[in-house]
Each structure stands twice: as structure tokens, then as C-alpha cells.
Amino acid sequence: MNKNLRKAVIAGNWKMNKDRTEAKALIEEMIPLVKDADCDVVICVPYTNLETALNLTEGTNIGVGAENCHWANSGAFTGEISALMLKEMGVKYVIIGHSERRQYFGETDETVNQRVRAALDAGLKVILCVGELLEQREQGITEEIVSLQTKVALQGVTNEELKNIIIAYEPVWAIGTGKTATSEQANEVCHIIRVLIEKLYGKQAADGITIQYGGSMNAKNADELVAQYDVDGGLIGGASLKASDFAVIVNAASK
């Protein structure tokens, strides 16, 4: 992290976990534990928990995000939620392009780009996920894959709009597997992304953009990961479902 240049952000991605009662309990436990954080704290929760999360976190330092949004403002898209709907209810962040969306729900770089556009147009902050599969890492094409994903996702995004984008580098092989990228591997790819941003948007934008690491980040390894120069926080799955673990990670990024 380099807090002089950019914001550190710790964001929880709850995925498809926690009913309303469980969500309420988790957030109530979390609020006092993270209240003195010296980094931005975000929880991205299932749609059914957004209202609860927004009510409970009002007046706290916790921002609320959704885990996806559609690219159209409204229309015949059964089961989908638009960025405008999220914005209207007070949601601030939205995760776009998570590898689980790409893997299980047919998300492509192009639809990721469309969703990014819609989210920015609605005034949301985007947590844009990119990352390579294990076989792609083994083939030595991590840089190409991550660069392509980032470049396509950001098509049509202006320098000014980029200020509302956080990039999360999430190697797919490290998600939910307990296999964390080493801090060097995490830093290396976060750096590659920053260099690409410099090429596309210039040095100031590259210095200022928050690039998180995600993938089996937990209370034990967070310290070392966020100590890396180009790792500006984390997108946390499993460990964000336990208030005490999430708080340890927030504290690591607060140093």
C-alpha cells in the first residue's frame, strides 16, 4: 500500500451467504470492531440484505455494495437488478465481473464492460474483478489475460470516471481454495495492472487507482499482502463472514 498516493479499501464479498437475521447479527458485531479503521471499509451483500445493511450502517464508516448489476436501466430482464435501482436505494458500490459470474453465469469481458458502463452512469463505485485461471498461469499468460480483461472492461471509461473504479486482482485458483497467491505474486500482477493503467490513462491515474488483491485472504495473511507496494487492500470472501476475522484484515490495512 502507499496511502500517500491512494486509498486502501477492504471490501467483503459475502457471495450467496447470510439470510436477513444472520446479516443483521454479523453487521452489528462488525460495526464497533471496524469503527476506527484508517482505510475504506465496504461490505458487498446479497440483494436481499441490502436494505438491512443500509439501515444498520447508516452513520458508520461502512459502505454498502451489491455483488452485480445489469447493464440496462430497466426492461424485460427477469431476475436482474439495474444499477439505477441500486443507486436509488442508497447503495454506493457494486462488484462487477467476479470470476464466479464469468465461470457460472456466462459473463464475458464485453458484458462486464457494459455493466461497468451502467454502474458508472448510475453514479456507483465499481469494484472490477480480473484474474487468471490456474491453467492460464501455468501457460505463462497471466499478464496477457489480466491485461485483456482490464482493457476491455474499461473501454469507454474516461479519466474522470476511472476515479470511481477499484480494480480487484483475484487469481481464480486462489478463490475459496485456501491457496493464497504469495505476496510477491499478488504484488507482481497488481503492478502489471498499474502499469497498464498508466499506459491507458497516465501516471497520475495509475498512482491514484486502488488495486486490491482477493483470493483466500484472511486474518493470518492479510498483513503481508497489504504491506506490498502495489496491493491497496483486499476483496475478501470467506473471511468477511466472520466479524472478528474481517476486523483483523481491516486493522492490517489501517497500519
- Residues with a catalytic annotation lie at 98, 170
Q: CB nearer to ligand 13P: give 170 or 230.
A: 170
Tell which positions 233-252 bind ligand 13P, by CB under 6 A.
235-239
From the CB of 101, what's the least distance to ligand 13P, in Å? 10
**Given 82, 216, 221, 251, the residue binding ligand 13P (CB under 6 A):** 216
* Region 117-176 residues binding ligand 13P, contact defined as CB under 6 A: 170, 175-176
| Residue 72 per-residue DSSP state | S
Of 132-140, 194-202, 210-218, 224-232, which segment contacts ligand 13P by CB under 6 A? Answer: 210-218
Among 63, 65, 171, 214, indicate the residue that binds ligand 13P (CB under 6 A). Answer: 214
Pairing of strands 125-130, 165-169: parallel
Is position 97 an interface residue for ligand 13P (rule: CB under 6 A)?
A: no
Cβ proximity to ligand 13P: between 156 and 176 the closer is 176
Q: Estimate to the nearest angstrom the gap between the alpha carbon of 163 and the chain centroid.
A: 14
Output 13 or 185, the one with its CB closest to ligand 13P.
13
Alpha-carbon gap, residue 138 to 135, rounded angstroms? 5
Site string for ligand 13P, 10-29 (x = CB under 6 A): ---x----------------
Query: In whole angstroms, what is the distance from residue 107 CA to residue 110 CA?
Result: 8
SS3 122: helix
Q: How far is the CB of 19 from ligand 13P (least distance, A)?
A: 19
Rank residues 78 and 104 by Cβ distance to ligand 13P and give the closer one: 104
- How far apart are CB 67 and ligand 13P at their closest, in Å? 9
Closest Cα partner for 79 from 90, 88, 70? 70
Backbone angles phi, psi at 165, to 5 degrees: -120, 135
Measured in Å, how far apart are the chain's first and last C-alpha atoms? 10
Mapped onto helix, strand or coil, the DSSP state of residue 108 is coil
Type of residue at 79: G
129: exposed, middle or buried (Cβ count in 10 Å: 0-12, 13-18, 19+): buried
Beta-strand relationship, 210-214 and 40-44: unpaired
Q: Which is nearer to ligand 13P, 68 or 216 (CB)?
A: 216
Applying CB under 6 A, which of residues 65, 171, 215, 233 lies at the interface with ligand 13P? 215
Binding positions for ligand 13P, rule: CB under 6 A? 13, 98, 170, 175-176, 214-217, 235-239
